[in-house]
Structure 1
Amino acid sequence: MSISITPAANERMRHFLATTPGAAGVRFGVKRTGCSGFSYVVDLAERMSPEDQALDVDGVRLIVDAKSLPLVDGTVIDFQRQGLNAAFVFHNPNATGECGCGESFTIS
């Protein structure tokens, strides 16, 4: 299992974790939605469930649920600012397509 985060994403995640000291980590995964099938989920995790796996990625604890693991293996998480917008950006080698708006992706 391999997930990487860029320095910009690391800084943003550490900021979120610092403002919520009781958090178990940063939850990263996917959910079924959008016009292509899946969208990414990045949020603070209040706790872990038995099916979750915790990964220490450059000092950030990522928590990934069992169903998401094979879909996000190899993903690089970045954080980018463009004008007034700021968002996490995902480079997932498992994605075979994306919708036109970039909000969801497909895995064959």
Structure 2
Amino acid sequence: MADPVKLAMGGGKPTAAGGSAAADGARPASARGVQVTERALARIRAAMLKEGMSPLEGGLRLGVQGGGCSGLTYNISFDSQPRERDRIFSFEDVRVFVDPKSYIYLHGMVLDWEESLMKQGFNFINPNSQKSCGCGTSFSG
């Protein structure tokens, strides 16, 4: 299983459009955009299947909006297609859509899936977050 921090720094398997940093000689993965771990991809695929959505026809939308105890909250939902100005990141058969305003706060972020006795859910590993609340869904940029 890939380490999300190592993955964010350009190590590990190819994950985003353009391949791994080692394969294409480009910037580190964290400078390229949003990353998604294998654990998170497995959960996204399962949720898409449950919703009756094919990865070929839709994708996961990641976003940020005002709110929460730290000022900003993460949004995660399915969308049938990207919007006109979205950045689109491809991970094998899963597409991730990010609007331009959210991308300011999400570039370099790693979306992981955490499963423990205390928590089950997506974990946002965001280098742009200056502080976050205890629940992990709110942050300041």
Specify if TM > 0.5.
yes
Task: Write the deviation string for residues 62-91 of structure 1: whole angstroms up to 9, x where unpaired.
Answer: 011111011100001101112374210011
SS in 1 for 2:128: coil
Alignment of 1:40-55 (within 5 A): 40-55=74-89
Do 2:61 and 2:96's aligned partners in 1 also have CA atoms closer than 8 Å? yes
Instruction: Provide the residue aligned with 2:135 in structure 1.
Output: 101
Aligned residues: 107
Gaps of 5+ in 2: 1-31
Question: Partner residue of 1:13?
Answer: 44
Question: Runs of 4+ in structure 1 displaced over 4 angstroms?
Answer: none
Residue 56 of structure 1 corresponds to which residue in structure 2? 90
| Higher helix proportion | 2
Q: TM-score, normalised by structure 1?
A: 0.86
Q: Return closer, same or farther for 1:13/1:64 CA change in 2, 3 Å cut-off.
A: same
Question: Is contact 1:36-1:104 (8 Å) kept?
Answer: yes
% identical aligned pairs: 32
Whose Rg is larger?
2
**Alpha-carbon spacing, 1:34–1:61, altered in 2? closer, same or farther (3 Å):** same
TM-score (norm: length of structure 2): 0.68
Gaps of 5+ in 1: none
Aligned-pair CA distance for 1:5: 1.1
Matched, 1:79 2:113: yes
Aligned-residue Cα RMSD (Å) equals 1.9
- Kindly indicate whether the alpha-carbon contact (under 8 Å) linking 1:5 and 1:58 is maintained by their aligned counterparts in 2: no
